[in-house]
Amino acid sequence: MLNGKKIVVVLPAYKAALTLERTFNEIPFDIVDDVVLVDDKSPDDTVGEARRLGISHIVIHEQNKGYGGNQKSCYKKALELGADIVIMLHPDYQYTPKLIHAMSGVIAYDVYPVCFGSRILGNGALLGGMPLYKYIFNRCLTLFENILIGQKLSEYHTGYRAFAADVIRSIDFTHNSDDFVFDNEMISQVFMNGYQIGEVTCPTKYFEEASSINFS
């Protein structure tokens, strides 16, 4: 809890058995109240690893619902738990949970209602091993999306996002796509509802064990 706000971290998981422990161990439980893991029918032992770590809220999809479908389950469960702030974090350990303090603070103290951890601000992406072709593709796609909706975000495809729960409640995310377009739809809905998005620079790590949850 931070400034009286309940913080719930949600982990949309697919093939995260090899990276989940490292991600979980860096979560700052001095402010995080609950952790939710949603497993999208992983072929590995993601669920078993989550249970071993003691994650108390595990949602298991009997069928693979896609990246967007996974996030829908994440946000629904976080709201059920009474979250005031929801942190969506990919459990592939490409993003450090140590920034949860900073991202939660942005929302808890009413600086922004939404905050993204950006790999592109600073030199975090390339220094962390992002392949050059992915970096160039990400930058070009971001430029196009900024022009399309008239914004100036540094990145639209980060796997690290923090939302005030009221923002999520105001968005009809359940009717969004079940695939990767979900992220773009949700960002557009945030802006259409009059909210602004803050960003913090986030180092990233690219390595062999990282899961395939994120295409970017």
What is the pLDDT tens value at each position of the chain, 216 positions in all?
999 999 999 999 999 999 999 999 999 999 999 999 999 999 999 999 999 999 999 999 999 999 999 999 999 999 999 999 999 999 999 999 999 999 999 999 999 999 999 988 876 666 666 777 777 877 788 787 878 888 889 888 899 999 999 999 999 999 999 999 999 999 999 999 999 999 999 988 766 666 445 433
Return the CATH fold of 7-201. Answer: Spore Coat Polysaccharide Biosynthesis Protein SpsA; Chain A (3.90.550)
Question: Which tokens sit at 128?
Answer: 């962390």
Strands 7-13 and 114-118: unpaired
* Dist. CA 80–CA 52, nearest whole Å: 24
Strands 7-13 and 34-39: parallel
From the list 135, 116, 115, the residue with the least C-alpha distance to 124 is 135
Specify the pLDDT at position 216. Answer: 37
Specify the pLDDT at position 210. Answer: 61
Domain borders along the chain are: 7-201
From the list 12, 20, 28, the residue with the least C-alpha distance to 90 is 12
